[in-house]
């Protein structure tokens, strides 16, 4: 199964909003509302930012929001800050009872 | 503190085996599914396996199926990844992570580096 499709990079200025797309198929994103997003800073372990398409775990800034339409999920970061500069990965549960990640998006502020 | 700690990584030659361990602390271990995710140098995240708390649900990615075996010992709060027939392309940092519910992966361990090279 191929990885979910994400743009390689997205950039924005401080204070702006950016959106990262994540495109899958009817066997993963289109099949369930189990889409998560992870943030990873260089040399660090990933951190959960969004689960279940749009749920923010405790402690995650409300500047981060998620959505889904059909087979495409999206992560929006509003009020962009320098600390948001990182790699972001989407992931989805699949109809094969496995998990699939996107290729990752480098966010530059 | 809720924590996962991986160990067992190292340098091996192609075709050799390695066993990774993931030890949990700070939470009740038994109910949770534990996943293994790896990251090749400079590359993205790749899910490779999970095992449910009751040992009943075990799944693998196609890239490791038939070569890797996941197991756990709830009495020791531990999950293991037996990696056989290792290939150069298995070189990566291997993370274990707790699944709170359908890819609610948190926390993650610090990772252990596996290098497969001749």
CB of B59 less than 8 A from some CB of A: yes
- The residue ranges of DSSP E strands in chain A, in sequence order, are 9-11, 18-23, 35-40, 47-50, 64-69, 72-77, 86-93, 99-101, 105-108
Q: What is the pLDDT of residue B117?
A: 97
Q: Given an 8 Å threshold on Cβ–Cβ distance, is B102 in contact with A97?
A: no
Q: Which residues of chain B have pLDDT under 70?
A: none
Q: Would you list which residues of chain A are within 8 Å, Cβ to Cβ, of chain B?
A: 1, 3, 32, 34-36, 38, 40, 45-48, 51-52, 57, 87, 89, 91-93, 96-104
Q: What is the pLDDT of residue A56?
A: 97
A-chain CB neighbours of B105 within 8 Å are: 36, 38, 46, 48, 91
B-chain CB neighbours of A20 within 8 Å are: none
Q: Given an 8 Å threshold on Cβ–Cβ distance, is B103 in contact with A45?
A: no
Q: What is the pLDDT of residue B21?
A: 98
Q: Given phi > 0 = left and psi -120 to 50 = alpha, else beta, which region is B8? A: left
Chain A residue nearest residue B57, CA to CA = A97
pLDDT digits (tens), chain A, 109 positions: 789 999 999 999 999 999 999 999 999 999 999 999 999 999 999 999 999 999 999 999 999 999 999 999 999 999 999 999 999 999 999 999 999 999 999 999 9
Share of chain B above pLDDT 70, in %: 100
Q: What is the pLDDT of residue B67?
A: 98
Nearest beta carbon to residue B111 from set A35, A38, A45 = A45
Dihedral (CA of B33, A58, A55, A108) sign: negative
Nearest beta carbon to residue B47 from set A47, A51, A98 = A98
Going by C-alpha positions, the residue among B55, B101, B100 that lies closest to residue B78 is B55
Q: What is the pLDDT of residue A99?
A: 97
A-chain CB neighbours of B57 within 8 Å are: 97
């Amino acid at each position: 199964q191929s990885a979910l499709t994400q743009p390689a990079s997205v950039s924005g200025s401080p204070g702006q909003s950016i959106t990262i797309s994540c495109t899958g198929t009817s066997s993963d994103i289109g099949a369930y509302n189990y889409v998560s997003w992870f943030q990873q800073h260089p040399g660090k372990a990933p951190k959960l930012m969004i689960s279940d398409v749009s749920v923010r775990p405790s402690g995650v800034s409300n500047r981060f929001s998620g959505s889904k339409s059909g087979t495409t999920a999206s992560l929006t970061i509003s009020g962009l800050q320098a600390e948001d500069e990182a790699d972001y990965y989407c992931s989805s549960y699949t109809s094969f009872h496995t998990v699939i990640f996107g290729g990752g998006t480098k966010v530059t502020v | 503190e809720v924590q996962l700690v991986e160990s067992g990584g190292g340098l091996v030659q192609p075709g050799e085996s390695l066993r990774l361990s993931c030890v949990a602390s700070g939470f009740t271990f038994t109910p949770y599914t534990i996943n293994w995710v790896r990251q090749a140098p400079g590359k993205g995240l790749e899910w490779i396996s999970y095992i449910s708390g009751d040992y009943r649900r075990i799944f693998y990615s196609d890239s490791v199926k038939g070569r890797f075996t996941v197991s756990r010992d709830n009495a020791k709060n531990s999950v293991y990844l037996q990696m056989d027939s290792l290939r150069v392309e298995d070189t990566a940092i291997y993370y274990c992570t707790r699944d709170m519910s359908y890819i609610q992966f948190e926390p993650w361990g610090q990772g252990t580096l596996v290098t497969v090279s001749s």
